[in-house]
Amino acid sequence: MTDDWLLRAETICLQCDGHCCHEAHPPISGHCHERLLGGRIPAEYFETNGYNRLRCRPDGTCICWNEGKCLIHDIKPETCRAGPFTFDVKGDVIEIFLKFESICPLVRLLKEVPAAYETQYSVAVRNITHLVSNLTDNELAVICSIDEPDTWKVAEIPRQRSGHP
């Protein structure tokens, strides 16, 4: 496999101007919080509203978005790494959803290039399962109550519980 689709993906993301970074509030696991703080992200970039998350600016953009780029791309949160896949939790099942192309233009590439889809799906599952296993049921309930229209379910995977109530 060549990296041609990776270059195409990067170009698509740069041209999108951060649609996925608008009003995002990605959930932050304890592990991710430590990683971000270690990456010199200031504590005031975080807030709690039922779950620990990144703040948004008054215009709705993620606090880590600047001039068309993610300032924390190499250490970004699990849900950001998983995009354009998202999730819901129903008991012992994690439902994996793919956003519509109208939400994320990267979806077209994933549909056109099976290797790109499989690679990003694997990244998404790994990051989503890590996040879900490191959040409490109360945090997950708040996160899963956020409406995410314009997605379709692509998989169901078993939930691994880590002992959080």
Q: What is the pLDDT of residues 130-154, one digit of tens each?
A: 999 999 999 999 999 999 889 999 9
In a domain, 45, yes or no: yes
Does 165 map to a domain? no
Q: What is the pLDDT of residue 97?
A: 97
Q: Is the dihedral of CA 153, 157, 162, 164 positive or negative?
A: positive
Does residue 117 belong to any structural domain of this protein? yes
Exposure string for 58-91, b = 16+ CB within 10 A, e = fewer: eeebbbbbeeeebbbeebbbbbbbbbbbbbbbee
**Structural domain contains residue 164:** no
pLDDT band at 1 (very low <50, low <70, confident <90, very high): very low
163 assigned to some structural domain: no
| pTM exceeds 0.85 for this model | yes
Is the pLDDT confidence value at 117 over 80? Answer: yes
Q: How many domains does the chain have?
A: 1
